[in-house]
Amino acid sequence: MSKTSSETLIQEIGSNLVTFLKHGDLSSFSKEIDADLNIDEMERLLRIHFVLKEEVLDFVDALPERIRRIKTAAKKNINTVHGDIRGRIDWYRTFKTRYASSFQDTSLFVITQMERDYGIPENLVLEKLIGTLYDIIMKDLKPAIDNKYPWVFEWYDKDHLKNLKDVYLKNVYIRRIRDDPHSIVTDRMIENTLRSRNPLYQKAAELLQRYEKLMNYDIDNNEAMDLLQNTFIKPDRIDVLFELYWTIQVINALQVEKKFITFHLIEGGNNIVAEWEDDRYLYHIYHNSTGTCSFIEHFSDIKIPEEDGYLKREGYILRDWRKLCFDIFSKDMSDSLWGGRPDILVEIHEKKSGKLCQVFIGEVKYTDSIDYAAQGLRELFEYIYLIKKDGRYFEDNPDQLIVSSKIKGWLFLDQIKSGLLSMENISIISFNDENILHKIASSIY
C-alpha cells in the first residue's frame, strides 16, 4: 500500500486553490512552511514564489551583461544663469528675459543644455522590477539565504544575489532612475515595453506584469499547481498539504458558493480559514486550531478520587512533581493533564444569539500505517469527549456523546480501507473512497 503522492494532491487541490486565492488567503497552512521565515501572509508567500521562478533566476543571471546596453534619451533643459555659461546661449530668450528687468543685469543669460534622460518608460519598468526583486530578497528571503536553506541555494550558491545587489546598488543608471521622485510605472508603460525589441526590457515588462497579477491573486491552474509544488510545500510537509486537501473538501461538501465565503488572514491563534452564513447560522472553519472552544484539561480542575487506584496515584505524581520542580529549579511547571488542537474544526453558531450549537471535528492522518490511523481515531475521541465551551463540557452527558447531534467527528485517512465507514456520529473517510463529497455532506446533514 503506497501513500498518495504530493503530485496527486496538487492536482486535486490546484483548481480549488485558484478560487480561494481570488477571494483571500489560506495562510494558516502557509505558516507551516518554515517557522524561521514566519510566513503568515499569502502575499509574502506569493512574493517568495515569484523570485524562485526559473525565468526570474535566468533574468538576474543575464542582467549584468544586458544592462550595459541600457537606453537613454536626449533631454533639452532651458535654464537662466548669471555669468556661469555652460551650454548654448538662447539669445532670443536672453534678451526677452533681460527686457523684463529693464536690462539691469547684463550677466543674465538663458542657455540650452542637452542632458541624457534615464527616466524613459522602458527604464522605469526595468528599475521597478529590479527594485521589487531586491526588496523581496532582502526582506522576505534574507533569513533563508543567510542560513543557506537548500530550497534557496540558487540565490546564494551562484552569482544571482551578487548580480542583483551590484546592479541595484552600484549601477549608475538604475540609481538615477530610483532617485527620481517622478518615476511612476503605469500599466500602459508595461504594455508598451512588452513590445520592445530589446530583450532586457521585454523580459522585464513580462516579469513585472506577472508579478502584478500574482499580487492581485490573478493566477491560473498551472500557476496554482506550481505554487503548491515549488513554494508551498517541502517533501516533509506533504501532511500539511493533505490537511489542506481535506479542509477544501469539507468546504465543498457544505455546498457553499465561493462568492459568499470570506477567507481570512491568520490572526493571533485562531487560524480561521473561512466563514460564511445562511439565514439562521454562522459557519466558521479552522485549521490546526481550537477555535472558540478549548481542548485542555488542568490538574486544578480535577477532583482526585478518595479511593486508592490509578487515578489517585496519577494525581499525586503530578502534584509532587510540580512542587519539587518549583522547590529545586524555581520553575512553575504546567498542570496540564491533556491538550490538543484539531486539524479541522467547523463551528456553527446561531446568528441571533451567537450561541455555539454544533461542532464538527476532523482529524487528518497522512499515513499507510494502521496503527497510526488507529491513534488518530483515539485522538478524535479525545476531542469529542473533552471539548469545552466557556469552561464547561460542550455535551453535558458523556453517555450521549456517541450519538450526540451537537458534536460529530471525521477521521480523514489516506489510502487505508476501513471495514466500518461510520459509527453513530463518527465518519471514517479515505482518500481513495468514492463519492467523498457525498460522504462528508451526509455526515453533516
CB atoms within 10 A of CB 209: 17
Residue 93 scores a pLDDT above 60: yes
238 CB-contact burial (10 Å; exposed 0-12 / middle 13-18 / buried 19+): middle
Confidence of residue 181 (pLDDT cuts 50, 70, 90): low
pLDDT category, 229, cuts 50, 70, 90? low
Domain residue ranges of the chain, discontinuous segments joined by +: 34-69+120-232, 73-117, 235-295+340-444, 303-335
**Highest mean pLDDT, choosing among 95-99, 271-275, 316-320:** 316-320
| 401-425: average pLDDT | 79
Interval 237-258 mean pLDDT: 78
**Greater pLDDT, 285 or 234:** 285
Q: DSSP string of 311-364? A: HHHHHHHHHHHHHHHHHHH------EEEE---SEEEEEEETTT--EEEEEEEEE
C-beta of residue 259 within 8 angstroms of C-beta of residue 242: no
Segment 284-289 shows an average pLDDT of 88
CA distances from 155 to 35, 201, 210 (A): 20, 22, 20
More confident residue, 215 or 7: 215
Convert the pLDDT of each residue in 328-384 to its tens digit. 988 888 888 888 999 999 999 999 999 999 999 999 998 888 899 999 999 999 999
Average confidence (pLDDT) over 201-230 = 81
pLDDT value of residue 346: 94
| pLDDT value of residue 368 | 84
The lowest-confidence range among 74-83, 108-117, 230-239, 294-303 is: 230-239
Closest CA to 19 of 249, 219, 232: 219
Which of 38-47, 116-125, 155-164, 200-209 comes out lowest in average pLDDT?
A: 38-47
pLDDT of residue 364: 93
When the pLDDT of each residue in the chain is averaged and rounded to a whole number, the result is: 79
3-state SS, residue 7: helix
- Mean pLDDT, residues 223-247: 70
- In the predicted model, is pLDDT for residue 411 greater than 70? yes
The Cα 436–Cα 433 span in angstroms is: 6
Instruction: Answer whether 224's CB lies under 8 Å from 18's CB.
Output: yes
Would the pLDDT of 8 be above 60? yes
DSSP 130-175: HHHHHHIIIIISHHHHHTT-GGGHHHHHSSHHHHHHHHHHH-HHHH
Q: What is the mean pLDDT of residues 190-208?
A: 92
Which run of H or of E encompasses 80? strand 73-82
The three three-digit cell numbers of residue 334, written as one number:
504546567
